[in-house]
Amino acid sequence: MTDPALLSAAELSSLYAARDLSPVEATQASLARIERLNPQLNAFCGIHGDEALAQARQAEARWREGKPLSPIDGVPTSVKDLVLARGWPTLRGSRTVDPAGPWDQDAPSVARLRAAGAVLVGRTTTPEFGWKGVTDSALTGITRNPWDPTKTPGGSSGGAAVAAATGMAALNIGSDGGGSIRIPAGFTGIFGLKPSFGRVPAYPLSPFGTVSHLGPMTRTVRDSALMLSVMAQPDPRDWTALPFPVTDFTQGLEDGVRGLRIAFAPTLDNAPVDPEIAASVAQAARVFAELGARVETVTLDLPDTGPVFRAHWCVGAATLLSTIPEEKHALIDPGLRTVAAMGAAIPLLDYTRATLARGRLGVKMNQFHQDWDLLLMPTLPIPAFAAGQNLPQGPDGATWAEWTPFSYPFNLTQQPAASVPCGLTAAGLPIGLQIVGPMFQDALVLRAARAFEALHPAPLPPLARP
């Protein structure tokens, strides 16, 4: 049998139901993967094996009785170290957080997954407070890409992406405030979805405000649909949350893209794109035409998204630092301190103007989707670069958004956007195709991603192969 750690959640569920595999065996396989690969890749900053095995034994008993709590009952699952999990110190990659807690609450997504029987195996790494697009911190060290450990997996959900790519956990909670699900999904060759804002309830709300989304990170599209169906369930602690959908996100997943109107934007605002990435993404767009969609190349201009995003992100960073005692500021990542200082210097009127500009951007994309059901474009314009650096050209710098111009615009507009793997560079590094949908059309984005994945399943990274 295939190593259970490399099975999808959907496959695990089927095997559990047939009594051909138990949740205990799957959890043991997941923990064995973590033990073998985590010292090299640093995907997990907290591993809770005894607790996970106890949960797995409970799930095993439920499946044996034919009474599973959900299709993901007994599936190994990770929690990003920005998301509260009861009994676990959630240190957010920061030396400023007191490990003593108290840690007496689950965030809504963790509570829903726990209630569905997911086996929580541990906490995945993040840069300090998730502030940048790579994953390293003074607290937990450098997280590395399983396709090439000298490269970054991206961030800030880099640990979750590595866990998904290598079979350390089938289901993984990520968060995305400017690309933090899609960047590492693109760099590590997994599927990651930033849902519509409010689709997944959050508590506490991010200090980075309404650009921050929670979503699933998995090896397959179906697993993300299963996971989102659970994570999207309501929680009264989030007053921004959307109404819970009537149907689950696996319904209609195999309906394909025939007849859809799909726009393909090779770039955004004339940003340069690596030639290998440009060619791979263009070929992926042609696949959608072969599947029966009407695909046309478009020019997409969203002017001033950089300044508008920086206003929101930097003010969020300043808000975050205002909650930390000043005597601890010296412990904080210098790059985060720089971003916070930029935010603190933004006048209130300028921030208000940025908020209004954000609204105009959202209206423009709403109008765009009157003509187009979906938008295709690269997830990233560059392949993964050296681990331990904030920027591809060197180790320092605060403006990580400069090298990921295709992700944060859709945090501003709050639309659903996903990254699906669509190829490899000549150096063997993953390439991501970004699929963007109209607000609230999360199911359509999943459906389109699944149509592509059915023809082009993602390969495993070398370190994950049997």
Phi, psi of 374 (to 5 degrees): -145, 160
Is-catalytic flag, 156? yes
Residue at 341: amino acid letter: A
Q: Token digits for 54?
A: 């106890």
Annotated catalytic residue: which of 22, 156, 196, 407? 156
Is-catalytic flag, 180? yes
Residue 67 neighbours by CB distance under 10 Å? 9
Is-catalytic flag, 80? yes
Annotated catalytic residue: which of 13, 80, 132, 194? 80
* Helical pair 221-231 and 108-115, crossing angle rounded to 10 deg: 100
Annotated catalytic residue: which of 180, 206, 224, 407? 180
**Active site positions, annotated:** 80, 156, 180
